[in-house]
A and B are shown apart, each in its own frame.
Chain A
Amino acid sequence: MSTTAALVERARRDDRAAFEALLALHGRTLLAVARAGTRNSVDAEEVFQEGTMRIWRSLASLESGDRFVAWSCSVVQHAARDRARREKVRRAAPLTDRPAPPASGPSEQRRRRIVDAVRSMPAPLAEVIELFYFGGLSYAEIANAIEMSVPTVNSRLTKARALLRRTLEQEDPNHD
């Protein structure tokens, strides 16, 4: 039995430490999914918290502990969609993160543009970027987390990077 499956078994028996260990192991992945489905880090954290509550409450419905990552990612995806439906502002409102701290130089500005550009991407493309760079997952792990094939992950990451590059070039044609 994998470490994750063992922790799921313990968490089902109301073992909070085990659930916390699950969050420690996979929280970054879940937060990456939440970030991809929201417009800013405040929304992302709320979706992450809501998703985490749903996971905790419905652990008993998970058939196999080995499917925890894919299942919990889908729970967070649903939480993000529910929130978007409720507020109907997703992808329509301007970014609402707090103003960026004073830029320390061109690289800081570019970083800010990159983060904003990723957030304005279609969710499926933003999702692979978040899982890859923020979650630190491999293609196979992303495929497992959001239940798609490895070639699809490859294809989406390729499209996401191409889109990001075009967006950055349009914003700042002189860069590089």
Chain B
Amino acid sequence: MTDRMPSGDPERIDADLNAYLDHELAAEERAAIEQRIAQEPELAQRLEDLRTLDSDLRDSYAQSPDQAEAAISRISLPRPGRLTWFAIPAAVAAGILIGLAMQAQPTAPAVPTMLGVVSVATGELTVRTGTRDEPAPGGSLLPESAIVSADDSTRGSIQLTDGSLLRLDRGASIRLVKNREIEVIRGRVWSRVSPGEPFHLLAGETSITVLGTELALQRTDARTHLQLFSGRARVEAAGATRDLAAGQEVAFEKGKLAPTRRIHSVAIATGWMLELHAFAGGRDDALADHMDRLLTDLGRTKMISIDERTVIEELHTVCRVPVARYLVSEGARTETAMRQKAARVLAEIADRSVMPTLLQALHDEDSAVRISTAEAIRMVSNAAACADPSVFRYRNEASLSATQAAQAWWANQTGAHRR
């Protein structure tokens, strides 16, 4: 390696390259090393070598994501001053937060089963257990049967013990009926359901059964509306049944379950969550659908056939939107390496026009994709919407909070543009 050593203090340069790779450099240091990388091919090569090693390490550690879950679930706390032991079958979600399902031994006092924890709230959620209403800020534990409500100015996220994630829009209210069963009482809820046993969502007369999937459900007095973004779901209401595939939606209204139809844009469907209302109006469904598919295919082709540097340096003006559409497309879900490449390209191009898609990609399953995406957002916003991309390494409290901050920044920007 020393034969490729550039001028300067080798140890310092090594450390800087590592910190650069890990998104740990301040803006000025980052700019300085980027300049050197651009001028010194040997440094660029060393960075590539480091990226390969980093990718291998991530791969290796991704192989045993459940070790922490399993280890924590086997912890048994002794009861101080007593001989009784307490078993805690905790479930740790795919990210880091989590499980609090506690079951007492017969000799221990009864403890309610905890089904979740408030991971993020923009204001204060309220939880009702029995007849008591209490504020539920971040970190609050949510027992079985609890009703969680968001007021008209608050949005919140709940991490469930089974690994599923719920997000409540302003004014939404849900009941944690039992493990893997949620009742939507009113308002709009988004959920990423972890794989496993069937997960049930109830909304008035409508019953929805899903396996691991991502969906949004909105309930008003007159209408229940389900949108499915991935996986499969079965909806039953008023004696009728609809099986939904990814990208479909269905509504229950006036006592009838409507036929399924295609969601014309996921970005629009999740606009409330991603603060993307600015982009939700005035589009023709068929055209939007066609454009989405066209752009996605185009982006995938470019990712397959054109090397990364060429896309970044020569084709960025024509590639950025297709690459962005591809990055968040259903078809890209199984193509991790290509998504990583797409995210790196977008991080380099760092163009404001793809900001809505970047916000979506912050939810990617792959940490490298999330970090590159966050880097793009950092560049676009001049660090205003994302100061530290490394917080997106895991999907945890910090990254959820950072996602909301980025969404809020963009909503503020687009709001300002509309004015």
A residues sitting closer than 8 Å to B (CB atoms) are 3, 6-7, 14, 16-21, 23-25, 27-28, 31, 41, 44-45, 48-49, 52-53, 56-57, 107, 110-111, 114-115, 129, 132-134, 136, 138-139, 150-151, 154-155, 157-158, 161-162, 164-165, 168, 176
Contacts and interface: CB of A to CB of B under 8 A. Distances in A.
Interface string B218-243: 00000000000000000000000000
Contacts, number: 134
B67 interface: yes
Contact of B50 (A6, A110, A161): A161
Contact of B117 (A14, A21, A56, A162): A21
A129 B61 CA distance: 10
Contact of B24 (A107, A139, A165): A139
Contacts of B139: 3, 6-7, 21
A23 B22 contact: no
A136 B396 contact: yes
Contacts of B1: 162, 165
A158 B15 CA distance: 6
A24 B102 contact: no
A74 to B, nearest CB: 19
A134 B397 contact: no
Interface of B: 1, 11, 14-15, 17-19, 22, 24, 49-50, 52-54, 56-61, 63-64, 67-68, 70-72, 74-75, 77-78, 80, 86, 88, 90, 92, 96-100, 102, 111, 114, 117, 138-139, 141, 367, 388, 390-391, 393-394, 396-397
Contacts of A56: 77-78
Contact of A158 (B18, B49, B60, B99): B18
Contacts of A107: 59
Contact of A17 (B54, B100, B390, B396): B100
8 contacts: A21-B141, A24-B92, A53-B77, A136-B393, A151-B15, A164-B53, A165-B49, A176-B49
Contacts of B111: 16-17
Given A25-B96, A139-B24, A31 B80 contact: no
